[in-house]
């Protein structure tokens, strides 16, 4: 087989080995968050970084997780045979930030902000005291850049003052680049140097690093894009949740993120929504998130990600058709 360089030298140049230190990408993050580059580590998506956070957590003792919650934290802790337990989250929440509920019976606490799958935004003032209680505080802010006003609740500005704080971010949600696999951790340099020594060489590929640098290098573009996304979330959240609230047999929960939870409820008890999800998929090619993978939720729950207005209208029409037992 002929090497790529035989066809075009520029092709070989574009596909050289990636920079293992992700220097350009970290420089861009440094400007974005006003922290030195050593406080950032590029990740092959947030999932890789969650795994290294779990290794640190396993060495410190027991972890506490919210239920319901993102299943990847439990997955990562199991990889390192870590001890963990759940505290139940009361599903009485609002579309505004509120105090974080916590348990003192652990050494490490894992936090989603905003929380997945509820979309609840936690108030930063209620998170700061946790830094004086736990040996390690791990905050997953993957969805936070999407939330209107969400950056005011970020813990990234506190990282320089607290060596026991890890913040994990992703570009996946904000820019819709899930297949690129790119995120970053913000933590004290000593911790990130240790993670770097654990990982495989060239953990993040050249294309991902180039795309990430391009998206955040121009601060004016970045902030304009965030404004556009915030306007979309606010507009479609109001429109879609109002339509869902009007459907009999469903209860729609408020969310600060770009998704919301719905619950099958007949006024007395929960009702399974498996039929709704399966009918939407088979008849209308619409996929709603099955929530049975979230600890604490069952088959009466579904999560809906916001689309364009046309896409949201299509979801609403199809749901009304299935719930009324007819096609549209």
pLDDT for the residue 105: 78
pLDDT for the residue 9: 52
Residues 75 and 106 in one domain: yes
Residues 20 and 85 in one domain: yes
Residues 102 and 204 in one domain: yes
Helix 309-324 and helix 219-245, axial crossing angle in degrees, nearest 10: 20
Residues 243 and 130 in one domain: no
DSSP string, 38-102: GGEEEESHHHHHHHHHHHHHHHH--EEEEES--HHHHHHHHHTT--EEEEEPPS---SS-BPPP-
Residues 49 and 192 in one domain: yes
Whether the CB-CB separation of 58 and 81 falls below 8 Å is answered with yes
pLDDT in tens, 200-227: 888 999 999 999 999 999 999 999 999 9
pLDDT in tens, 59-69: 999 999 999 99
Structural domain count, the chain:
2
Which CATH number does the domain housing residue 97 bear? Answer: 3.40.640.10
Task: Give 45's contacts (C-beta < 8 A, 6+ positions apart).
Answer: 170, 172, 181, 182, 183
Residues 288 and 143 in one domain: no
Residues 248 and 207 in one domain: no
Residues 248 and 183 in one domain: no
Residues 269 and 157 in one domain: no
pLDDT for the residue 4: 45
Residues 24 and 54 in one domain: yes
Q: pLDDT of the chain along its 328 residues, tens only?
A: 455 445 455 545 556 789 999 999 999 999 999 999 999 999 999 999 999 999 999 999 999 999 999 999 999 999 999 999 998 888 776 667 777 877 667 999 999 999 999 999 999 999 999 999 999 999 999 999 999 999 999 999 999 999 999 999 999 899 999 899 999 999 999 999 999 999 988 899 999 999 999 999 999 999 999 999 999 999 999 999 999 999 999 999 999 999 999 999 887 889 999 999 999 999 999 999 999 988 889 999 999 999 999 999 999 999 999 999 855 4
Which residue segment(s) compose the domain that 159 sits in?
Answer: 4-217
Q: Kindly state the tokens that stand for 49.
A: 């970084």
Residues 226 and 203 in one domain: no
> pTM for the full model?
0.91
Residues 175 and 304 in one domain: no
């Amino acid at each position: 087989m002929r090497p790529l360089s035989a066809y075009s030298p520029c092709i070989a140049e574009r596909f050289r080995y990636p920079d293992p230190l992700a220097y350009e990408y970290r420089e861009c993050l440094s400007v974005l968050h006003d922290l030195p580059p050593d406080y950032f580590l590029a990740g092959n998506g947030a999932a890789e970084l969650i795994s290294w956070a779990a290794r640190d957590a396993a060495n410190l003792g027991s972890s506490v997780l919210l239920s319901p919650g993102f299943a990847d934290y439990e997955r990562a802790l199991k990889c390192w045979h870590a001890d963990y337990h759940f505290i139940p989250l009361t599903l009485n929440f609002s579309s505004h930030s509120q105090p974080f509920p916590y348990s003192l019976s652990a050494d490490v606490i894992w936090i989603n902000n905003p929380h997945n799958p509820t979309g609840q935004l936690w108030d930063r003032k209620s998170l700061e005291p946790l830094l004086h209680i736990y040996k390690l505080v791990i905050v997953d802010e993957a969805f936070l850049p999407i939330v209107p006003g969400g950056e005011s609740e970020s813990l990234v500005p506190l990282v320089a003052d607290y060596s026991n704080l890890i913040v994990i971010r992703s570009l996946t949600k904000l820019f819709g680049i899930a297949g690129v696999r790119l995120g970053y951790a913000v933590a004290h340099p000593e911790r990130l140097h240790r993670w770097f020594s654990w990982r495989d060489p060239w953990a993040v590929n050249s294309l991902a690093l180039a795309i990430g640098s391009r998206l955040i290098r121009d601060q004016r573009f970045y902030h304009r894009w965030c404004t556009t996304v915030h306007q979309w979330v606010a507009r479609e959240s109001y429109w879609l949740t109002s339509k869902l609230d009007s459907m009999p047999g469903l209860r729609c929960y408020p969310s600060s993120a770009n998704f919301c939870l719905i619950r099958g409820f007949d006024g007395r008890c929960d009702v399974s929504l498996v039929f709704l999800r399966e009918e939407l998929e088979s008849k209308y090619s619409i996929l709603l998130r099955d929530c049975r993978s979230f600890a604490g939720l069952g088959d009466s729950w579904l999560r809906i990600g916001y689309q364009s207005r046309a896409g949201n209208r299509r979801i609403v029409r199809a749901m009304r058709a299935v719930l009324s037992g007819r096609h549209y």
